[in-house]
Amino acid sequence: MSDKNPTNADPITGAPGAHPVGTGAGAAAGAAAGAAVGSIAGPVGTVVGGAVGAIAGGLAGKGAAEGVNPTAEDSYWRDNYTKTPGYKKDYTYDDYAPAYRAGYTGWERARANGESFEKHEPTMRSEFERTKGQSRLKWEEAKDASRAAWHRVERAIPGDADGDGR
């Protein structure tokens, strides 16, 4: 697999699912807001408000950074790739992983614009071609896997973000 950090491991603890940028940005914003609110109570309130705000903001930032949890998606598909429509028995998970990644990350990017799979497909195809590494799949073979990953995350989020009735 070409991804050097497929579990998105924390750079310090090694725990999977880390999002230091989102967590840091949320913590900074939360600390500023908490300090501002706490300053009404004086210097001690500023410190306490900043600390509480940093914790709450950090958690919110991590959640926002992980709208689609790449660690969970990778784990799910690693266990279920043989059940994908069009699966070819001579291929491994490493052949399919870039297609799944293009699907679930593509859905997350496309939902902001309300784009359907079909409308966003050229972008996903480009991403797949750019990141496929040693995968033996061509896009036409990988497309069903991308679509399966797209629909899996779409079903996990309430509503029909791309208007396709799913």
DSSP notation for the chain: ---S-TT---TTT--SS--HHHHHHHHHHHHHHHHHHHGGG-HHHHHHHHHHHHHHHHHHHHHHHTSS-HHHHHHHHHHHGGGSTT--TT--HHHHHHHHHHHHHHHHHHHTTT--HHHHHHHHHHHHHHH-TT----HHHHHHHHHHHHHHHHHHSSS-TTSS--
More confidently predicted of 22 and 36: 36
Q: Each residue of 70-94: pLDDT tens digit? A: 999 999 999 999 998 889 999 999 9
What's the average model confidence in pLDDT over 136-156?
93
Q: Greater confidence, 105 or 51?
A: 105
Contact criterion met (CB below 8 Å) for 105 and 126: no
pLDDT at 65: 46
Both structure tokens of 93:
């998970």
pTM, whole model, 2 decimals?
A: 0.58
